[in-house]
Structure 1
């Protein structure tokens, strides 16, 4: 591979280079490592190495986590809307808009009623007047979405966020009205982001779906976003991009194998991006003086249709953190379910669902009788005079750190109550089951006890030794509500919830992972959105393991674990 450094980008001539992954499939090919030398900043950055960059974005490789990521280079502003959390959703929508224009329009049509509701609310927020669908103002606002591809991409991203996290309420006008959106800088950001990823994927063996960035592999067939169809959702140099979308400048077309084009519009599609170097003070003041006015989704859901199907067909369906508030189980799966805790906040009962269930921290509250006097019965009486339980009853949100480690009689009471509500589920309180040749060990870890990690890891070691039963061959998956420790967690180091001290300090645990056929770990608890990825591969105990965290949302009713289990592991 011949690499020539060019101002703002790279020009690469590929000559039948076999981009073969290393044995771990987590390290960069030598061809990409060679690019480190092209960027002087890499000499003073031992961790995050630049591989590719242009004026506004860069691709970096984290030497510690082995992750590839696309970052803005700091000057371009994603959105002038304070606390706008949709960037990853909009980037994902941008890629899918290029790859699957018909499916994305179908998705928007499915949400027509919800989109109309958002537009009416947006108009009300700026005019304080109610409008109906027949008004000229409403029709103009609705039609503007489909006259501008960069704005349509944003709407697609907002609806993806809606389906995953619940209805939006803050700053709706800037998000759903083109007349207000032109001042946010988001269209300009989307333009530059797409320009970069097209340059990137055309130039290097890199692929992205707008969320994940990976080394190009041959088997990129995955579920299309929001659908159960097997189609490619990753942008690569082989992608068949809709030729009617032109987002690239004419001179850039010459240097790329193919380009993304946006059709000429009556309205100017984009201006210069908003830059922090020019507008940073104004944006900081806007954020500083911003008065939050968002509404919790549970109060606004009644105004919106639920569009995503309630039933999924996953064979091994992993889901956690449903937190049902209405006494109902929100989805249907007739196969084998792995419920990873925090399923109910309203004493849900489900007699049909099958599979396994581990205990989360919200189960501890949910199994308590609504009439506290009843707790003097034989099940709860042993705990009534203990300090941790009294504090837990009085102020649970301030008492999680006081919970006993998982080897405690209280959790057997929780298991007993859950078995009555979910009669076809195996409640795994430090026990295991074998299903289709896979051993599932369920450890009770309701919360991450960071300051008591030595005690907790001694408990983990005790039960792993007990439940593995000197069976070194059966493929095994370990499930717990809170992650076992950082090494087997989906939580990003950038998250506010991340604590570097929640690491594995017990070498005998790592030794067990080396000796036994442990293939993966599953957890919940941290409410990691699907847009951040539901699984990853990590190295622990000298073996590669998958880690899964799949929280519930109306768009995500479960993760198909079969995607990660090698066929040779199951019967």
Structure 2
């Protein structure tokens, strides 16, 4: 009887595995791996496809998306709240693919690295040195002599260019003598081991963040960008291996020869199993001593090109505070709000502009009492509490702003158009450009507490602007996203509110009836490292979402790369 039960159990397990593979929708080379890992039988969503001692590749069975994650024991960094892991992983891939270009990128940023080294040396020794001092020169040479640190520095620079200057724990990030204590070098070496083994064993490609099937097309947004090449089994990584420490080179070479075998660990990563208590104590007692990036920006140079060649360039959240427009683009631009925090004028840039919350305060005169003429246009709004707060403390005004059909927004629109005469500010209006209709809605902030009135406004505005033409490809632009379904904000973000969903069925019906191909928003300051666009299904059809936040490295997203992929017929 026991034997019969055992046979029955084996049959059931085989049936379960067969069912799992059938439902996976994965290529056979990947689906066959599901049964290699027993834990997959009890995991309904995230299933293991590949792993070694420290990392694993998992597949989300709901959408077949893949991701690399650590298995829990290896520590990325002993520096508390170190947010550069994704940047450093991208940097590791770029170093494998073209170390010479990495070196050029670092050399281009030399003035900023020297500034970081000056601050790092002061944090460690209390000694103030100049950028041309022997101490800085020696610390800079140490970066170039240590490939694992050079990879980290590239990652830090990518983070700097996307999110602004770094300030906390600079010594651990930039000085070799301090960096060796952080464990990051060990993490990087094991990550390199894993991605090489992974891409040698399976038909996959990665840029350090995204994982794709090898036969898949690389996103158009990545094509031609030198710093975003993909690692595959065909990649020539020999030049990079020759530069890496000998033990790491040998480990990776063994991975290439024995891609399906477990890797040997020659480097010494920082493990929670050995140092967990010490790391917890450090984090518990940690004081960041960090400074806001905007306050530090004056001490660093922008060494990246400021000319943008995108045909339809999308960017938001520039928050210009120094009165200078920071990039040039002679084509068509979509500025999705929060462009200005100071008096800025640009007579050349053309395209469309939607209002963000920061425009509402930035256009106000600095001293209304000195100009009766200026005061006259704002006088009708002086009775409102939100207007008083815009004058005194704008951050307190955002939750009180009126839903976006208020007269105040029209006055702000006129002021913005004076400063950007070739831009058309879409305040709940639309324009057709090159066969695409753009509807600009004034949604400066996500008014979750007034969601019902906000969505009534969205419905009314869309009905008016969509009109009778149901075939023309249409893109909706707003500063804050329309609702969660058309937002790039991650549910894991502190800013995410699960109540901000589309609860107005008539809006979904409009999306079903009209050829709305995508939406553009800003507001949530999502770094480019997390992706500037996504594709979601809403109201029965796939639609793109773009959130392209400005940075020195990211002066805009090429919208044509998405438009060209769309079936513009609406079928």
Indicate whether 1:87 and 2:90 are aligned.
Answer: no
CA RMSD in angstroms comes to 2.8
Conservation of the 8 A alpha-carbon contact between 1:315 and 1:560: yes
**Judging changes above 3 Å, is the alpha-carbon distance between structure 1 residues 206 and 100 closer, same or farther for their aligned structure 2 residues?**
same
Candidates 416, 427, 430, aligned match of 1:429: 427
List per-residue Cα deviations over 1:38-57 (Å, max 9, x = no partner). Answer: 33333443333333222212
Candidates 50, 53, 62, aligned match of 1:52: 50
State the 1:30 CA deviation: 5.7
User: How far apart are the structure 1 equivalents of 2:487 and 2:468?
Assistant: 26
Look up the match of 2:19: none
What secondary structure sits across from 1:379 in the alignment? helix
Conservation of the 8 A alpha-carbon contact between 1:485 and 1:503: yes
Conservation of the 8 A alpha-carbon contact between 2:144 and 2:150: yes
What secondary structure sits across from 2:377 in the alignment? coil
Matches within 5 A, 1:290-305: 290-305=286-301
User: How far apart are the structure 1 equivalents of 2:61 and 2:554?
Assistant: 31
State the 1:169 CA deviation: 2.0
Conservation of the 8 A alpha-carbon contact between 2:190 and 2:267: no
What secondary structure sits across from 2:238 in the alignment? coil
Name the TM-score, length of structure 1 as normaliser. Answer: 0.88
Look up the match of 1:535: 533
User: How far apart are the structure 2 equivalents of 1:74 and 1:229?
Assistant: 33
Matches within 5 A, 1:250-269: 251-256=254-259
Look up the match of 2:66: 68
Structure 2: tracts of 5 or more residues without a match: 1-22, 242-247
Look up the match of 1:283: 279
Look up the match of 1:419: 417
Count how many residue pairs are aligned between Structure 1 and Structure 2: 538
Candidates 339, 342, 346, aligned match of 1:346: 342
State the 1:161 CA deviation: 1.3
State the 1:67 CA deviation: 3.4
Conservation of the 8 A alpha-carbon contact between 2:360 and 2:390: no
What secondary structure sits across from 2:145 in the alignment? coil
State the 1:363 CA deviation: 0.8
Conservation of the 8 A alpha-carbon contact between 2:122 and 2:129: yes
User: How far apart are the structure 1 equivalents of 2:263 and 2:300?
Assistant: 34
Candidates 139, 161, 168, aligned match of 2:159: 161
What secondary structure sits across from 1:146 in the alignment? helix
Candidates 209, 212, 220, aligned match of 1:211: 209
User: How far apart are the structure 1 equivalents of 2:41 and 2:57?
Assistant: 16
User: How far apart are the structure 1 equivalents of 2:272 and 2:196?
Assistant: 24
Look up the match of 2:465: 467
Look up the match of 2:14: none
**Judging changes above 3 Å, is the alpha-carbon distance between structure 1 residues 130 and 329 closer, same or farther for their aligned structure 2 residues?**
same
Conservation of the 8 A alpha-carbon contact between 1:188 and 1:270: no
List per-residue Cα deviations over 1:378-411 (Å, max 9, x = no partner). Answer: 4322222234434444443233222111122221
Matches within 5 A, 1:222-241: 229=225, 233-241=229-237
Indicate whether 1:505 and 2:497 are aligned.
Answer: no
Name the TM-score, length of structure 2 as normaliser. Answer: 0.88
Candidates 438, 441, 444, aligned match of 1:440: 438
